[in-house]
């Protein structure tokens, strides 16, 4: 029995092992078939199955349901404004601040000590509506009118309003508001004093590389300074001294315009006619009535010189030997000179220029040259510091890359950014050394002459 039991127990075991092996072999084709089905499924997968999930649109109601943030504006007696955090976070500046708020019910406050309530109010108006007062009229470069706002900005307040909004948008990182305020600046009509107040603010609160707002200011004064400076000459001079970069930008554009005009004149010279003024033709032109221009004196003289028989017969022939013709092109005889006629008295300068415009123009030209020299010395004076004996002509026209060393053939040539290396050449160093030697020789000769004079 034990043997039978052992045999009986061994047989099922063998059968089980065989069955498992067969099941494994049978399962392999099934797995292969399933893999092929999966591959076919991957091949037929839609192209947008792995695309990113589109976030739901944020409605205006979502903004209004966001927490309220209190804005403390100004310093000292602060003004208080409130806004929804969902709208404020459109600005990277406010987003960083709002991310630091703790969700414990504590008040959410942000201090803005460097801004006034009107500027911040216009900023919030833009966040809620996409515009701020005064709005631009569609399709025009005109702002909507308001009886409380004068049509001409005499003090510069209207320009300064948009300029402050521009600098605020620059700091808060709101590009749309920055573009909108810049476009509204060009819609304001102002005076010279208003433009000076605006230019002073721009050059005080914007960076040097912000050409979006600085370039139009410099171009405006470069093209209109000859007329506007007379209205605010002192203010213009004070602005140039307060912000030298403003004077340099204006001067750069004036010189650039001058170079462009000279280049255009060279490329497209003005074509002038060979006949500068109308002249009468000296060619005799035949006409049906050849003697219609006979003067009255010659006619009477010719009539008296005719023979008696011709007069009686009524002949119309004239005596050509005694006839004087007034041909075209012959100038009339000069009138008899009257020796007693007095020469006209020359007018004095006070009579020619009673308002002193010529003197004012000369003074403006002198100030312009003085400012140009100052700017050039500030920018390129260090390049000539090693040439202590050379004479530097700062009044040569051109930009900062022009060589200004007198006595050399390169004087007046524009080397651009390579001016510094050009001034270090042996030619300039030898020229400066020769001038130093000449100065030493002249000083020695002068000392010798003074010694000889004392001995005598």
Q: What is the pLDDT of residues 337-351, one digit of tens each?
A: 655 555 667 777 677
The pLDDT of residue 2: 43
In this structure, of 6-20, 118-132, 184-198, 440-454, the range with the lowest mean pLDDT score is 6-20
Query: What is the mean predicted confidence (pLDDT) over 100-106?
Result: 84
Q: How far apart are CA 202 and CA 217, in angstroms?
A: 8
The band of 328, judged by pLDDT with boundaries at 50, 70 and 90, is: low
CB-based contacts of 358: which residues, under 8 Å, 6+ apart? 349
The pLDDT of residue 121: 96
Query: What is the mean predicted confidence (pLDDT) over 286-301?
Result: 41
431-445 pLDDT, tens digit per residue, is 888 888 887 877 777
Inform me whether the pLDDT recorded for 273 exceeds 70: no
User: If you average pLDDT over every residue of the chain, what do you get?
Assistant: 75
pTM over 0.85: no
Query: What is the mean predicted confidence (pLDDT) over 273-279?
Result: 41
> By the 8 A CB rule, do 73 and 112 touch?
yes
The band of 130, judged by pLDDT with boundaries at 50, 70 and 90, is: very high
Which token pair is 266? 């060279």
Instruction: Between 5 and 52, name the one with better pLDDT.
Output: 52
Instruction: Between 377 and 323, name the one with better pLDDT.
Output: 377
> By the 8 A CB rule, do 283 and 304 touch?
no
∠ at Cα 238 (234, 243), nearest 5°? 150
Strands 109-112 and 79-84: unpaired
The pLDDT of residue 95: 93
The pLDDT of residue 45: 53
204-218 pLDDT, tens digit per residue, is 999 999 999 999 999
Query: What is the mean predicted confidence (pLDDT) over 185-202?
Result: 93
The pLDDT of residue 344: 66
Inform me whether the pLDDT recorded for 280 exceeds 50: no
- All structural domains of the chain with their residue ranges: 294-327, 357-437
The band of 1, judged by pLDDT with boundaries at 50, 70 and 90, is: very low
The pLDDT of residue 118: 95
The pLDDT of residue 126: 96
Query: What is the mean predicted confidence (pLDDT) over 39-52?
Result: 52
49-96 pLDDT, tens digit per residue, is 455 666 677 788 888 889 999 999 998 889 999 999 999 999 999 999
């Amino acid at each position: 029995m034990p043997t039978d039991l052992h045999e009986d127990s061994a047989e099922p075991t063998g059968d089980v092992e065989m069955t498992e092996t067969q099941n494994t072999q049978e399962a392999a084709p099934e797995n292969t078939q399933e893999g092929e089905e999966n591959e076919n499924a991957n091949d037929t997968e839609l192209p947008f199955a792995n695309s990113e999930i589109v976030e739901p649109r944020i409605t205006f109601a979502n903004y209004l349901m966001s927490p309220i943030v209190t804005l403390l504006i100004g310093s000292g007696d602060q003004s208080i404004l409130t806004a929804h955090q969902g709208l404020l976070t459109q600005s990277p500046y406010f987003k960083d601040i709002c991310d630091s708020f703790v969700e414990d019910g504590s008040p959410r406050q942000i201090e803005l000590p460097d801004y006034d309530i009107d500027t911040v109010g216009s900023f919030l108006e833009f966040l809620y509506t996409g515009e701020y007062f005064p709005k631009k009229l569609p399709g025009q470069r005109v702002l909507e009118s308001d009886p409380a706002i004068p049509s001409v900005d005499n003090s510069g307040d209207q320009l300064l309003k948009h300029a402050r909004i521009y600098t605020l948008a620059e700091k808060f990182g709101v590009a749309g508001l920055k573009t909108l305020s810049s476009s509204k600046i060009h819609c304001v009509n102002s005076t010279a004093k208003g433009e000076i107040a605006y230019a002073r603010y721009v050059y005080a609160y914007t960076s040097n590389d912000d050409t979006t707002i600085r370039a139009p200011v410099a171009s405006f004064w470069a093209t209109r300074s000859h007329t506007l400076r007379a209205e605010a000459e002192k203010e213009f001079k004070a602005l140039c001294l307060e912000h030298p970069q403003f004077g340099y930008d204006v001067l750069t554009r004036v010189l650039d315009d001058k170079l462009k005009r000279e280049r255009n004149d060279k490329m497209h010279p003005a074509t002038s006619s060979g006949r500068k003024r109308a002249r009468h033709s000296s060619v005799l032109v035949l006409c049906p009535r050849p003697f219609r221009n006979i003067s009255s004196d010659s006619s009477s003289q010719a009539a008296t010189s005719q023979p008696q028989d011709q007069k009686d017969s009524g002949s119309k022939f004239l005596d050509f030997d005694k006839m004087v013709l007034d041909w075209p092109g012959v100038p009339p005889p000069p009138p008899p000179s009257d020796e007693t006629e007095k020469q006209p008295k020359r007018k004095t300068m006070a009579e020619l220029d009673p308002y002193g415009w010529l003197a004012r123009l000369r003074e403006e030209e002198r100030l312009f040259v003085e400012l140009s020299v100052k700017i050039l010395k500030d920018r390129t004076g260090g390049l000539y510091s090693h040439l202590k004996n050379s004479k530097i002509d700062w009044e040569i026209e051109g930009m900062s890359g022009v060589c200004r060393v007198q006595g050399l053939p390169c004087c007046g040539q524009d080397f651009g950014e390579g001016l510094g290396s050009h001034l270090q050449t042996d030619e300039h160093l030898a020229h400066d050394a020769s001038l130093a030697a000449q100065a030493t020789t002249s000083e020695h000769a002068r000392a010798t002459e003074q010694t000889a004079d004392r001995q005598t």
